[in-house]
Every structure is written in structure tokens, then in C-alpha cells.
Amino acid sequence: MQGLGWLAAIIVGGLAGWIASNIMKADTGLFLNIVLGILGAVIANALLGVFGVNFTTGSWLAQGFAGLIGACILIWLKRAIS
């Protein structure tokens, strides 16, 4: 989440992780929601960058959307591996 400061990245990441855990019906805590959202945003931005979509300088909403997509991907991958 390059376009956001640390505090904003934690807030947006936590919200994105929480929404993703509700969508995917995952039972995760606050800390894991934040981690999922932030890592999810990094992963989603990298994947979307391959297709020419750039959310790194976007708004909180764009970063939240990227975090949501990435967090859902991470939850899905964890389930696929388990």
C-alpha cells in the first residue's frame, strides 16, 4: 500500500481483511485480518500490475478493493493447501 501511510494502511488493510473473511466465511481475528488485507493489497497490486492496472497511487477505496481481492485470494490459497 504505497499510496497510504502506515496508519491508513493498517486501517484499510484491517477493513479489507475483515470483509474478505466474512465473504469467504473464514474465522480470523483482528491481527490476521490486518495482515491478510495488507498482504492481499500487495499481492493484488502485483497481479493487477501485470495487466496494466495500477492501484498503488489510488485512493483508500482503490487500495481497499485491492486488499479485498488479495485477501480473498490468500484465504482461498490457504484452503487449497490445507
Bigger pLDDT: 74 vs 10: 74
Q: Within 10 A of 48 (CB to CB), how many other CB atoms are there?
A: 17
The string of DSSP letters for 49-63 reads HHTT---TTS-HHHH
HSE at residue 73, side-chain half, CA atoms within 13 A, is 18
pTM for the whole thing? 0.81
Element (H, E) at 69: helix 60-81
| For range 54-63, the mean pLDDT | 74
**Mean pLDDT, all residues of the chain:** 83
